[in-house]
Amino acid sequence: MDIKWMFLFLADNEKAKLIEKEKHIRGRVTWDVYWIYFKHFGSSILVSIFICLVCVIIFNALFNFWLSVWTSSSDGGGGVSILQYVTEAFLTYGCCHSACKLHDKMIYNLIRAPLRYETFPKASKYESKQFQPAAYYVVRKCDAHNLCSLKSGVYFRVVVFLCVVFLTNVVISPPLILFFIVYIIIYCGVYVYFIDASRIRACLLFYPWLLKLYTVFPVPGRTAETKPRFFIILFRQEEKDAYFKFLDKVDNYLLVTKFTIVTIQWVVLNLLLLSCASFLVIAFLAVLGSYRFQLSPSLVGLAIASALEMSSIISSSVISFAHLESSMTSVERVKTYIDVKTENQNGCKPPKDWPSKGNVLVENVTIKYAEHLDPVLKDVSFEILGGQKIGVCGRTGSGKSTLTMSLLRLLIQTKGRITIDGIDIETVPLQTLRSRISVVPQEPILFNGTIRENIDFDGRLADADIWDILEKVQLKDKIARLHTGLDSFISAGGSNFSLGEKQLLCLARTIVRGSTIIVLDEPTAFIDTNTSYQLQRFMKDVFHDKTVITVAHRVTTILNSDMIMVLQDGHIVEYDSPTNLLLKEGSIFASFVRESSETSTTDGV
Ligand SMILES: Nc1ncnc2c1ncn2[C@@H]1O[C@H](COP(=O)(O)OP(=O)(O)O)[C@@H](O)[C@H]1O
Ligand SMILES: [Mg+2]
């Protein structure tokens, strides 16, 4: 079961779907996968390996021949062994080199993949919980460890070595040629038959990204799913159900393991039987040859020794080649990541202080999440003057977050132009653009590391300044209570902080960066009203000369803005000062304000 994952982009008739399908491809690993792996060895290493292999083979053949002439000799063995070690060293180096190169390329591409690609796994039928460990495994293990284990590229030496043994035997006893042909055909048959099963074995025991995905990951996945729902399960008295569902997953895994072990034993037994039978035939033919062609006993001895060696080499190479091909599935997986189309990074470097004023001009912009999806922002135009404070509101799904993301070129812009201080953002290198605009996203993101590293990436600020900012964002007390203060560690995704606290930390980070344009996507959605009110006052003060675009959860928080933008179904339906909008008859913004005064927490606005 060799299954390769690839991403199948939707056909036109599937336009309505948000979710892209994964495609499983069966069959052999193609040659381009081998090529990409060995190409990254580097030409000098490849040439060195080739020369060493040829020398090993020639020395080996000469040594065997010399043995048959003068059996007591042991000279020459040392030379062959040293050469073999040198070959191994080159192979190991080449494998590590190739693994590192492929790994780096993969990481480079994944980091630069478009947003659509990043969100894809979550939308896939494999839940992110299952996908993430797989991806993690591919990155951490398959690329480095598994690829290195391919130093069993010794298999290639096996092929050449087989040819030498074959020729030696055929020269000594020509009838052997018929036998060898039959013999190799049988082994090829066993190999082809075994290869499918071996892929399962290899995937499960050594290269587990595939079968583990199906059978192993669901086990911890089930636990991870159950843990947060623990009280619901107790409340609904579904403990037994949860228990048996978990056992089902364990059973699946054990079933595959059992099947795997049985398969290996079956193959080993068959290969052994085949070896014994072939050795018997070779011995018989060699003895027959010695009578017919009057061969010397030492040559017959050499033929039998070589045949014995050959049958054991062929047996082990059947497993080895299967092993190699299974290993190559991880290269193939890596290749799919390397082939991912990245975002265009190039452009003309803008001046160092760009954007100095913070003017934003959006002209007839249409934005999509993917080529096959309908636009979310439709023909949107507006202008923000430097230093203005803009409040954006609208019903859930109206396109507020999409608007903020489009300023960072995170989505596909099919029409129009966005210029910041007179420079079209399409012409600015992506890295520069994203480093010059600060965003506090709707879902706040914290990185593994200390609080200090999360707030002040570049280590520009003194501790006192960081504490000052933390005090302003109302986090000083909480962080001061932690044992190690600013050096306290933030766990993966910031799980040791509440959503509101994460938003506050992101806000602190934004203040430290000091960008001219700041985008706040519902920055106080998870913060209590009192803290939110204090933050408003603080932000007004600290961002007084910056252009601030605030997507509002509570419309009351944007009442003090210079301009209010109301979005509806991807269109700007109102864009004016709050006073004008409140006075305007039938104003949507005014209705939002009325709604929010009726209920203190108006969802979706
Ligand atoms: N990752 C995504 N992939 C495809 N479409 C999306 C994605 N995120 C949002 N959308 C579409 O964009 C619309 C606007 O989303 P968004 O800008 O997040 O709305 P909001 O105004 O609530 O911030 C949604 O209704 C949805 O149809
Ligand atoms: Mg939103």
Tell whether ligand 1 has an atom less than 6 A from the beta carbon of residue 406: no
- Lowest mean pLDDT of 16-25, 153-162, 541-550, name the range: 16-25
Atom of ligand 1 nearest to the CA of 551: 23
Structure tokens at 598: 């009726």
Atom of ligand 1 nearest to the CA of 442: 23
- What is the C-alpha to C-alpha distance for residues 563 and 531, in angstroms, rounded to an integer? 24
What is residue 299's predicted lDDT score, i.e. its pLDDT? 67
Tell whether ligand 1 has an atom less than 6 A from the beta carbon of residue 397: yes
What is residue 406's predicted lDDT score, i.e. its pLDDT? 93
State pLDDT tens for residues 448-459. Answer: 889 999 898 888
Average of pLDDT values for 497-504?
82
Q: Using CA positions, which residue lies closest to atom 6 of ligand 1?
A: 369
Tell whether ligand 1 has an atom less than 6 A from the beta carbon of residue 323: no
Residue 209 pLDDT class (50, 70, 90 cuts): very low
Selecting from 3.30.70.2190, 3.20.190.10, 1.20.1730.10, 3.40.50.300, what CATH number does the domain 360-598 have? 3.40.50.300
Average of pLDDT values for 541-567?
89
- What is the C-alpha to C-alpha distance for residues 242 and 230, in angstroms, rounded to an integer? 10
pLDDT exceeding 70 applies to what percent of the chain?
A: 70
Rounded to the nearest angstrom, the distance between the alpha carbon of 213 and the centre of ligand 1 is: 30
How are strands ordered across the β-sheet holding 563-568? 437-440, 517-521, 547-551, 389-394, 563-568, 571-576
Pairing label, strands 437-440, 517-521: parallel
- What is the C-alpha to C-alpha distance for residues 312 and 262, in angstroms, rounded to an integer? 21
585 touches 579 (CB < 8 A): no
C-beta atoms surrounding 365 within 10 Å = 20
Average pLDDT over all residues of the chain: 76
- Lowest mean pLDDT of 17-26, 245-254, 269-278, 513-522, name the range: 17-26
Atom of ligand 1 nearest to the CA of 567: 21
What is residue 258's predicted lDDT score, i.e. its pLDDT? 79
Average of pLDDT values for 327-332?
75
Compute φ and ψ for 109, nearest 5 degrees. Answer: -70, -40
| DSSP reduced 3-state for 364 | strand
* In the predicted structure, residue 284 carries a pLDDT above the cut 70: yes
Q: Using CA positions, which residue lies closest to atom 4 of ligand 1?
A: 369
- What is the C-alpha to C-alpha distance for residues 481 and 485, in angstroms, rounded to an integer? 7
* Domain assignments of the chain as residue spans, ordered by start: 4-11+18-338, 360-598
State pLDDT tens for residues 474-495. Answer: 888 888 888 888 888 887 667 7
CB-count exposure of residue 542 (10 Å: 0-12, 13-18, 19+): middle
The residues with which 48 forms a beta bridge, in sequence order, are: none
Q: CA separation (Å) from 494 to 448, 499, 501?
A: 7, 9, 9
What is residue 256's predicted lDDT score, i.e. its pLDDT? 76
Higher-confidence residue of 322 and 273: namely 273
Highest-pLDDT range among 168-182, 382-396, 521-535, 552-566: 382-396
Sign of CA dihedral 297, 303, 304, 309: positive
Pocket test for ligand 1, best of 376, 393, 405, 550 (most atoms within 8 A of CB): 376
What is residue 347's predicted lDDT score, i.e. its pLDDT? 87
479 touches 451 (CB < 8 A): yes
Higher-confidence residue of 469 and 499: namely 469
Q: CA separation (Å) from 595 to 552, 553, 554, 591?
A: 14, 12, 10, 6
- For domain 4-11+18-338, which architecture applies? Up-down Bundle (1.20)
* In the predicted structure, residue 319 carries a pLDDT above the cut 60: yes
State pLDDT tens for residues 190-207. Answer: 666 666 555 544 443 444
